[in-house]
Amino acid sequence: MKFFNLHTHKVSNQETVLEVVNQYPQEFDASIPFYSIGIHPWYINEQRLESDLQIIETKMQKKNCLALGECGLDKRIEMPFELQQKVFEEQLILAQKYNKPVIIHCVAAFQEVIDVKKRLKITVPMLIHGFSKNRQVAKGLIDNGFYISFGKYLLQNPKLETAFLSVPSDRIFLETDATEERIEAVYALAARYKNIAEEDLQHIIKNNFEQVFKNFKP
């Protein structure tokens, strides 16, 4: 593995990339080598919530399920926030039960995510994907034990460099999400911002992967 892609919706099948492909309960593709599975707050369906959670629990027990997610909280959608919180918490309990990291979608609800981590005493790694906020928000997450993943917004917004550089090297991940960009482009920019060789950044991310995904057996 030269590159690790924490969160993507596209399968690249590159031998040099280990990628965690996002899957949804009702659209599960068993041919995907490594995946995360969860209920995104945008797609909560109360009528099938119980069956979705059952599917997630079954798939989480497979060795090629690396994480739960993406799941989380989003204050900018019409989905009732209390329902989002309920579904998020039920998934966190599953992650804790099966000792799997959690890939989190969070929009305008960072304090609520921090609060639920504390209240439920979640000890599995929690990773905020697609970070696009400032260094103050990043510091609050780091101080509460979160990892932070950067991707399309790092490529699109030069102002994000400050927040990226404020995150300790042992807490960062990189991703492509749903963009057409390759993970190599994210690594190249991140290495330039850090003023280090790409090989050194690859080593940093590999160490972080080994720390967070301790149960991974290729």
- Whether residue 78 is annotated as binding a ligand: the answer is no
- Whether residue 46 is annotated as binding a ligand: the answer is no
* Residue corresponding to tokens 């892609």: 5
Q: How far apart are CA 62 and CA 87, in angstroms?
A: 22
Instruction: Give the total residue count for the chain.
Output: 218
Pick from 151, 136, 148, 137: which is nearest to 187 by CA? 151
- Whether residue 70 is annotated as binding a ligand: the answer is yes
The answer to whether residues 8 and 21 touch, using CB atoms and an 8 Å cutoff, is yes
The answer to whether residues 194 and 201 touch, using CB atoms and an 8 Å cutoff, is yes
- Whether residue 203 is annotated as binding a ligand: the answer is no
If phi > 0 it is left, if psi is from -120 to 50 it is alpha, else beta; for residue 72 that is: left
Q: Which residues make up each annotated binding site?
A: 70, 105, 129, 177
Q: Which residues make up each annotated binding site for a divalent metal cation?
A: 70, 105, 129, 177
